[in-house]
């Protein structure tokens, strides 16, 4: 077992408490008694107890990652990883690494999302009892981020309207920084259209997968 100094032990406990607060039933999983919850959360346990919980969490993540690997292997091949990445909100690299056994202990953020995805597309895949995600809560987060992105593009489109008016007035367009040539007057508009098209695809992927379950 690795030897840690006092600061490292405290940092380890801070990280453990963060994970437990995000998945409170994890405390039960790693053997923290309910009647001693306050004692654990508001003080520093003995080093041996901190390490015991730390390795219990690692084992839990490893077991869950293995179960996810089995689920993914039923539906996702190497070539399909990018498509399922868009549906699950997890990078295609992480999905490939789990399928190929390169990642045997994923983080809980990845575990949460992939469990929810597999629970949606596989009839016999159950969520871990301590997984905090639901389709509704994930919808709020995922679609909320997209909504924020759309709002930013809307603000940039307003600025493009100003640029377009200036182009009409000066009969000139911006200069490309690298080529030092004039940009097409619709260049920025085209980029915004591409961004919106990508967001449109994300919305449809999400809705079809988690809501309509196609």
Contacts of 147 (CB under 8 A, 6+ apart): none
Burial (0-12, 13-18, 19+ Cβ within 10 Å), 132: middle
User: Residue 214: what pLDDT?
Assistant: 67
Q: What is the pLDDT of residues 174-207, one digit of tens each?
A: 887 777 788 888 888 999 999 999 999 989 988 9
Nearest to 73 by CA among 118, 12, 134: 118
Contact 75, 84 (CB under 8 A): yes
Instruction: Name, in order, each residue with C-beta under 8 angstroms of 149's C-beta and a sequence gap of 6 or more.
Output: 195, 199
What is the spatial distance between Cα 33 and Cα 21, in angstroms, rounded to a whole number?
15
pLDDT of residue 2: 67
pLDDT at 78 over 60: no
Q: What is the mean pLDDT of residues 159-163?
A: 92
Please report, for residues 83, 146, 186, 202, the alpha-carbon distance to residue 197 in angstroms, rounded to integers and kept in the order given.
16, 12, 16, 9
Predicted local confidence at residue 75, as pLDDT: 81
In whole angstroms, what is the distance from residue 96 CA to residue 93 CA? 5
d(CA 79, CA 23): 33
Whether the predicted pLDDT of 41 surpasses 60: yes
Q: Is residue 12 very low, low, confident or very high in pLDDT (cuts 50, 70, 90)?
A: very high
Flag whether pLDDT at 113 surpasses 90.
yes
* Residues 1/51, Cβ–Cβ less than 8 Å: yes
Output the DSSP codes for 135-178: HHHHHHHHHHHHHHHHHHHHHHHHHHHHHHHHHHHHS--PBPTT
What are the residue ranges spanned by the domains of the chain?
6-121, 135-211
């Amino acid at each position: 077992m690795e030897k840690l100094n006092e600061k490292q032990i405290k940092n380890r406990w801070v990280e453990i408490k963060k994970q437990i607060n995000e998945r409170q039933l994890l405390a039960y999983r790693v053997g923290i008694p309910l009647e001693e919850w306050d004692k654990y959360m508001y003080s520093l346990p003995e080093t041996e107890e901190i390490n015991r919980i730390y390795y219990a969490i690692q084992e839990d993540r490893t077991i869950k990652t293995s179960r996810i690997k089995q689920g993914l292997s039923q539906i996702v091949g190497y070539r399909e990883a990018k498509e399922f990445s868009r549906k699950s909100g997890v990078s295609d690299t992480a999905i490939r690494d789990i399928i190929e056994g390169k990642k045997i202990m994923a983080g809980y953020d990845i575990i949460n999302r992939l469990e929810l995805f597999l629970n949606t597309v596989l009839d016999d895949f159950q969520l871990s009892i301590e997984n905090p995600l639901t389709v509704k809560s994930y919808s709020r987060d995922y679609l909320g981020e997209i909504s924020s992105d759309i709002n930013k593009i809307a603000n940039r489109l307003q600025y493009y309207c100003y640029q377009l008016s200036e182009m009409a007035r000066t009969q000139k367009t911006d200069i490309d920084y690298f080529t030092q040539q004039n940009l097409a007057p619709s260049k920025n508009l085209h980029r915004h259209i591409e961004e919106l098209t990508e967001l449109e695809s994300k919305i449809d992927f999400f809705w079809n997968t988690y809501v309509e379950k196609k």
